[in-house]
Structure 1
Amino acid sequence: MSFKNRLFFLMGLDSVIILTSIFIGNYILLPNQNVLTTTLAISALSLFVFHHLLAYKYRLYHRVWEYASVGELISIFRAVTLSILLTAVVQLIVMQHIYMRTLLITWMMHILLIGGSRFAWRLFRDNYKNSSDKKKRALIIGAGSAGAMVVRQLKHNEDGELYPVAFIDDDIKKHNLSVMGLPVLGGKEVIEETVERLDIENIIIAIPSLKKKELNHIFTECRKTKAQTKILPLIEDLMVGNVSVSEMRDVKVEDLLGRDPIELDTKNISGYIENEVVLVTGAGGSIGSEVCRQISLFNPKTLVLLGHGENSIHSIELELKGKYGEKINYLTEIADIQDRAKMFSVMEKHKPSVVFHAAAHKHVPLMERNPEEAVKNNIIGTKNVAEASDTCGVNTFVMISTDKAVNPTSVMGSTKRLAEMVVQHMANRSKTKFVAVRFGNVLGSRGSVIPYFKEQIAKGGPVTVTHPDMIRYFMTIPEASRLVVQAGALARGGEIFVLDMGEPVKIVDLAKNLIKLSGFTLDEIEIKFTGMRPGEKLFEELLNDDEVHPEQIFPKIYVGKSTTESIDQVIDLINRFEKIEPNCLRDELLEIANNKKITNQLIGIN
């Protein structure tokens, strides 16, 4: 029905109700009296005029009544009540008498008939038009405002495939009560039983403010069922209309492993990045590109994107220019950090005040087979960039390291530890503030286990895990990058900053979660244990035992400092590594990186 036809229909319907109600009300009171009197005619005409004026004021003819709720009922109440009161004033002026009982009955009939005519369509729509017979039955986790919003939109969505049938909520005060006409059956401990009893096909977690740990507990219960689990977008996005309930998404592994966001010290970060020239090595990689995104939020004058792969550098350049336009000057350098002369040339050309060094070889098994390449890229490459930064007067140099540098058992971890030592050695003799930032596995980064697991699941399995007891720390790419940028603001020189990675995760549990999130059961996708690979450890450490600092210097950031007595051994290794047989080179890397003569101490920041 067009707006014009709809307007005439509602105005005509209201006119009939208004012009007849007062006569019917008077007849109910005085059945033996003539209803066609001058008093009633004047009153009916007054009601007609006042109602339509007030209906225009309260936009009663411009509302979508199939979504009518309390707000619409209040508008009808106001329009009807004011029209009755104004008519009473007309009666007092013209007839010097107010027919109170007649007006009261008329008021009740207006509320009932006008309000009823509006809400009848919604009742029909909710109970008959939106038949749930062909829809998938959904269980809503969370009987709060977000859950009620989900139920309302699902019920109103004719084309949607989900229909809500019940709530689950840990608030015992809501148990055995109804919300939006749906029962609250209990807490998360009854999820499995409820899904089976009510034949639930979808579970919707409708608690946007849910903490990661609590989400994990809920998902653990959902994983016991065959129902598909979805999660609600942020409540802020729903309220402002950026997304709708129809855009509910599947739970991602990042939701389960990520942590609650922290607030950065934007003032200090802006102090060393805003209007400055910043250079990022490895800018096309998963970590380097996200560091570039985070840096761009603080308005550097120029951001130099340096990397070896032309396609990845071009991709991040297009992305950043598309988002920030001419606000930031983005420059690209296709260069290999192993090329010492090129590094000095680039630094001299751009004169950056801040350097983030993200370029590195990170794949453990590959570096075990190619230790000389790990030395060239991770140690010599870092040394080239660091010395070029020192020579060209860079103010702050931040190297991105790894938890595998602690008590390393692999070539990759050893070369990253030696790279840390190079950076700390530079800090001892340079005006540049050299620091390293150490963290664990990053979700979604190149070489991460998660894409590998997803590929195996897509092929029907099995999912291969090296050891049932293997655990790792995980962090999302944006979170790690934000903390790297924050660590740069805390730099004094020589520190190893360590990011709080939260609770370690068993890899086998991660595999189970991914199988469930992909819509399969553990009976359908097998988990196979293949044995530990060369260079792997059952668990990773972020600090040595004697490096542990009791307090964080910033939320989720610790600081430690290691002395570098073995730097001469590092330099000696760099000078002769090409002549060393690969297995011997691996052994020597591990020996230097794990030198027991290296003492560790912690420093605080005042």
Structure 2
Amino acid sequence: MVWLCWVGLNRIRFSYQVDAPAVPWFSAEVALVLAIQALVFWRMGLYKGLWRFASMPDLFNILRASVVGAIAIGAALFLFFDRAFLVPRLVLLAYPLGLVITLGAPRLLYRAWKDAHHAQGDGEPGLRVLILGAGRAGEALVRDLKRDPRYVPIGFLDDDPFLRGSRIHGVPVLGRLDEVERTGRETASQMLVIAMPSVGAEAMQRILQLCEKSKLPFRSVPRIQDVLDGRVAPGELQEVPIEDLLGREPVPGDWDRMGNWLEGRTVLVTGAGGSIGSELCRKCARLGVHQLVLVEFSELGLCNIAQELLRGYPALRLTTILGNCGDPAVMKHALSRASVDAVFHAAAYKQVPLLEDELREAMLNNVLATEVTARAAAEAGVGTFVLISTDKAVDPVNVLGATKRLAEMVCHQISADCQTRFVTVRFGNVLDSAGSVVPLFREQIRQGGPVTVTHPDVTRFFMTIPEACQLIIQASAMGSKESIFTLDMGTPVAIRMLAEQMIRVAGKQPGRDIHIVYTGLRPGEKLHESLFHPDEKYRATLHPKILEAEPREVDDDSVARAVKLARDAVGRYDLSRIEHVLRTSVPEYRPDAPEGDQAKPSNNVVQLQGGSPS
């Protein structure tokens, strides 16, 4: 193409001159032009481009290489041949444009042919897709969809009035987002795709409501963070993330503060193979800890998280301890392996209905193991001990909440006689954690239903696993010697509504394709959870979504006596004695509270005025 362009332009230029010299098809001048332009193309990477994916950046690169080549050719002809004056200026000026046409056109034609050939597929008609959002994500999506025979993009909907009637890659903008029901019906759409990955929680809730009203299945384009984290492939359509269904803005993190606290330190994590423990390990590694000590009872869980950390952070010093954190010898050995600066105690049993019938194991793991771990950390001079608690420890009505509350009291008692800083972090239900409601609903929907919900009015606070772990580290970095932190999690989510939205996200209709069955509250369950206790004075922190509570006064001698009695009762498997210890040591524990009392939601919204709740 360089040869054709250079010789052709010269012949065209001299064809208008009567006494013009003959332009040879090949000469030393042409050889020099070919050599210089080939060198420029090679240096600018044009020989590495794939015609299949040619686009505007490729044309720009060709133009740049052509301009540089024209300048270099003019200089070389003047220096080596002293004949630059014989090269018409029109040829040098037209040469870059000619190269862009002769090099760019074949590439674009080839790509158009490949796209058309690929889009034909096996002759089956593709799914008719209506795209919500005509911004950058929508433009990139329609380019991908037009190359995929499974989909046929038929239009955009966008609230920007300046886009009305315009076309993006030949696909028209048909109207506003709130016209999705009518437009979907008129265009015979078979699927909606939300192409607004950066929209806020409130706007996303509006879009989801519009999608649900249309009764069409819907998907979304992945967010860049999901792609970078490897949870979804670039360009792959996915179900709307569960966190988007909650309608709550993700809690921002002060990564500088967290990094300053953790960078270069040694951290020990119990329950390191669990949902929360493993994410804590990832967050600590990302924040630059010097060494991680992992304590885990499950050998498979320990292997999985250790291998993941070694792959992702090869420079991280990793120590693995297979054993029970409730064994004093295990904890003494783990703390002797390194000079530990902070302990995150994530090991716990958390399944509410199961623990109602496993009182001994709940006491053993949630209380006595906490006592062993906390005391070992205090004796080893660890700077910070973090207990991961739950909102169910506030006015507990189940074994999980009561044992977690007693664990908080144990940490309070131990903190009185040591220099270790004790921090307790409470939060609500964690999305997609092992045994939580979301994976259960997802599996029930996959099997065709029914989806089981305990009660039509039951509500819960939710947060994602990364959010929960971010809260734990954020609160730990700002706490005083003894602190209880909780997250202002906004409005509780109705489980029935969550189930209905998950069914619609899967492309089904609640009550028609997938039925919802109400099974009744299980043992130990409330209708509504509370985040705050009336006797705990809450105040704002440096983080807008984290509240700090003043720990309630407890009798340290009574707590120590309760631990001693509980250990004796656990050793003898005396369930009645264990229950008695739990009831007397946690006076607010009311396992027999009438359902009417449970159905009254607590005041979950705390208005902070002057540093205290009103």
With structure 1 as the length reference, what TM-score do the two structures score?
A: 0.80
Equivalences for residues 288-367 of structure 1 within 5 A: 288-325=277-314, 327-337=316-326, 339-340=327-328, 342-344=330-332, 346-347=334-335, 350=338, 352-367=340-355
Tell whether 2:214 aligns with 1:232: no
1:262 and 2:244 aligned: no
Which whole-Å CA distance do the structure 2 matches of 1:61 and 1:249 have between them? 35
Q: Secondary structure at the match of 2:543?
A: coil
Query: Equivalent residues in 2 for 1:140-151 (5 A)?
Result: 140-151=131-142
- Residues 19-168 of structure 1 mapped to structure 2, 5 A cutoff: 21-22=12-13, 26=16, 37-38=19-20, 41=23, 56=38, 57=40, 62=47, 64=50, 67-71=53-57, 79=66, 93=85, 119-122=108-111, 124=113, 130-131=119-120, 134-155=125-146, 157=147, 160-168=149-157
Q: Structure 2 regions of 5+ residues with no counterpart?
A: 592-607
**Against the structure 1 CA distance between its residues 346 and 527, is the aligned structure 2 distance closer, same or farther, given a 3 Å change threshold?**
same
Once the 2 structures are TM-superposed, how far is the Cα of residue 525 of structure 1 from its aligned partner? 0.9
Amino acid at match of 2:138: G
Q: Distance in 2 between matches of 1:496 and 1:259?
A: 23
C-alpha distance 370-161 of structure 1, shift in aligned 2 (>3 A) = same
Distance 2:107 2:482 in 1: 72
Report SS of the residue matched to 1:479.
helix
Partner-residue secondary structure (3-state), 1:303 = strand
How far apart in 2 are the matches of 1:342 and 1:152?
A: 57
2:598 alignment counterpart: none
Following superposition, the deviation at residue 12 of structure 1 comes to 6.7
Q: Using a 3 Å threshold, how does the CA distance of structure 1 residues 218 and 93 change in structure 2: closer, same or farther?
A: same
Percent same amino acid among aligned pairs? 35
Residue 194, structure 1, aligned to residue 183, structure 2? yes
Distance 1:390 1:122, change over 3 A: closer
Q: Which residue of 2 aligns with 1:494?
A: 482
Deviates more, 1:215-224 or 1:64-73: 64-73
If the length of structure 2 is used for normalisation, what is the TM-score?
Answer: 0.79
For 2:265 and 2:96, the matched residues in 1 are separated by 71
**Does the 8 A contact of 2:394 with 2:401 survive in 1?**
yes
Partner of residue 502, structure 2: 514
> 2:370 is matched with which residue?
382
8 Å contact 1:395–1:433 — kept in the other structure?
yes
- Deviation at 1:527? 0.7
Q: Does 1:399 align with 2:387?
A: yes
Structure 2: how far apart are the matches of 1:176 and 1:327? Answer: 55
- Structure 1 counterpart of 2:409, from 412, 415, 421: 421
Task: Give the C-alpha shift of residue 365 in structure 1.
Answer: 1.0
Maintained 8 Å contact 2:535/2:552: no
Matched, 1:434 2:384: no
Contact preservation (8 Å) 1:18, 1:44: no
| Deviation per residue, 1:579-604 (Å, 9 max, x gap) | 53677666546634479xxxxx9997
Equivalent residue runs for 1:457-472 within 5 Å: 457-472=445-460
Q: Compared with structure 1, are the counterparts of its residues 176 and 54 closer, same or farther at alpha carbon in structure 2 (3 Å cutoff)?
A: farther
Q: 1:109 to 1:346 in 2, by over 3 A?
A: closer
CA positional deviation for 1:492: 1.8
Matched, 1:560 2:556: no
Cross-structure match for 2:164:
175
For 2:610 and 2:278, locate their aligned partners in 1 and report how far apart those are by CA, in whole Å: 31
> 2:336, 2:54 → 1: CA distance?
67
**Contact 1:566-1:592 at 8 Å conserved across structures:** no
What SS does structure 1 have at the residue aligned with 2:304?
helix
**Change in CA separation of 1:603 and 1:533 when aligned onto 2, cut-off 3 Å:** farther
Rate the CA distance shift 1:549–1:16 in 2: closer, same or farther, 3 A: same
Contact 1:47 1:83 in 2 (8 A): no
Rounded Cα–Cα distance in structure 2 between residues aligned with 1:307 and 1:463: 33
- Residue 253 of structure 1 is aligned with which of 242, 247, 255? 242
**SS of residue paired to 1:185:** strand
Q: Deviations over 1:425-472 (max 9, x none)?
A: 222332111110111111121221112112222322111111122111
Q: How far 1:571 moved relative to its partner? A: 3.9
SS of the equivalent of 1:407 reads coil
Task: State the shift of 1:180 in Å.
Answer: 2.3
Separation (CA, whole Å) in 2 of partners of 1:226 and 1:592: 48
Q: Deviations over 1:540-589 (max 9, x none)?
A: 12212454645333243211012223544444444445353677666546
1:386-405 C-alpha deviation (Å, 9 max, x unpaired): 22222222221110000111
C-alpha distance in 2, partners of 1:61/1:445? 49
The whole-number CA distance in structure 1 between the counterparts of 2:194 and 2:159 is 13
Cα gap change, 1:65 to 1:340, in 2 (>3 Å):
closer
> In the alignment, does 2:406 pair up with 1:410?
no
Q: Equivalents in 1 of 2:561, 2:508: separation in Å? A: 53
Q: Gaps spanning 5+ residues in structure 1: where?
A: 1-9, 27-34, 596-600
Distance 1:486 1:500 in 2: 14
**Which one-letter code corresponds to 1:188 in the other structure?**
L
Cα deviation for residue 146 of structure 1 reads 2.5
How many residue pairs are counted as aligned between the two chains?
A: 574
User: Cα RMSD (Å) of the superposition?
Assistant: 4.3
User: Partners of 1:255 and 1:408 in 2: how far apart?
Assistant: 29
The verdict on how the C-alpha distance between 1:265 and 1:110 changes in structure 2, with shifts beyond 3 A counting, is closer
- Alpha-carbon spacing, 1:201–1:49, altered in 2? closer, same or farther (3 Å): farther
Deviation at 1:518, TM superposition (A): 3.0
Aligned counterpart, 1:219: 208
On the 8 A contact 1:285/1:312 being kept in 2, the answer is yes
Distance (Å, rounded) in 2 between the aligned partners of 1:321 and 1:285: 17
CA distance in 2, matches of 1:340, 1:104: 83
Structure 1 residues 17 and 233: CA distance shift in structure 2, 3 A: farther
C-alpha distance in structure 1 between counterparts of 2:232 and 2:451, whole Å: 34
Residue 573 (structure 2) pairs with residue 591 (structure 1):
no
One-letter code aligned to 1:161: R
- Does the Cα contact within 8 Å between 2:268 and 2:343 map onto a contact in 1? yes
